[in-house]
Homo-oligomer: A and B are copies of this chain.
């Protein structure tokens, strides 16, 4: 019915392609979230039956791998200006807001190995900046993983209750207030600190929490860099040479 060639439709390539699968999947993901993305719905979106998808894709897992790379396609690294610290902070902030920007992206990406070409380009770029900042090869590699893990982990952590709350129809301000009330209602003899710090524990927004952790991480990296510079002061910083001993 839909497949018969009408006046002058696309008779040349009316077929599904792997790319068509992915872009349709992206559309469904944005519209219905990761729970709404089933093989049957994806097939329906393409005017096709579910079994047909398996001609183009081995299974759903592989589709999600492709989707992961597609989600990373339009992530842009920050401008190459400012200190290494500014650049890394911007990296983290952008990475997080990129993941938060497309619905359930973090859930799809979560822990998926086999990084696609787009993620590889970001890694390549970040490693370059880390080495240029003066980190050792081993440290640069570790830091590269660390920052990715921090961002992914944090976002994953914040996204799950977020979607649970919106499923229940409650705003995040209400959730925070409810959490505060719960903490304040605890027995003060068994949980004195939780009761005492109920406000401090519940008022920070996720943005602030993320920024706080990121800043601590950057402080730690600065310490590492200083230590490395102090231990081996020959590299690229020819100011003085304390060659005693």
Contact = CB atoms under 8 A, between A and B. Distances in A.
Given A110-B156, A149-B157, A223-B219, A127 B209 contact: no
A204 B158 contact: no
Interface string A184-217: 0010001111101100110010001100110111
Interface range on chain A (Cβ under 8 Å from partner): 35 or more
Nearest to A128: B193
B201 A141 contact: yes
A157 B164 contact: no
A131 interface: yes
A221 interface: yes
A110 B160 contact: yes
A213 B154 contact: no
- Interface secondary structure of A, over-half rule: helix
B140 A197 contact: yes
Nearest to A141: B200
Interface string A120-140: 110110011001000001101
21 contacts: A110-B156, A110-B157, A111-B157, A111-B160, A113-B161, A120-B186, A120-B191, A124-B190, A124-B192, A124-B194, A127-B194, A131-B193, A137-B196, A138-B204, A141-B200, A153-B156, A156-B156, A216-B221, A216-B224, A217-B217, A219-B224
Given A123-B194, A141-B200, 13 more contacts: A111-B161, A112-B160, A112-B161, A113-B161, A127-B194, A138-B200, A142-B212, A149-B153, A153-B156, A216-B221, A217-B217, A219-B224, A222-B223
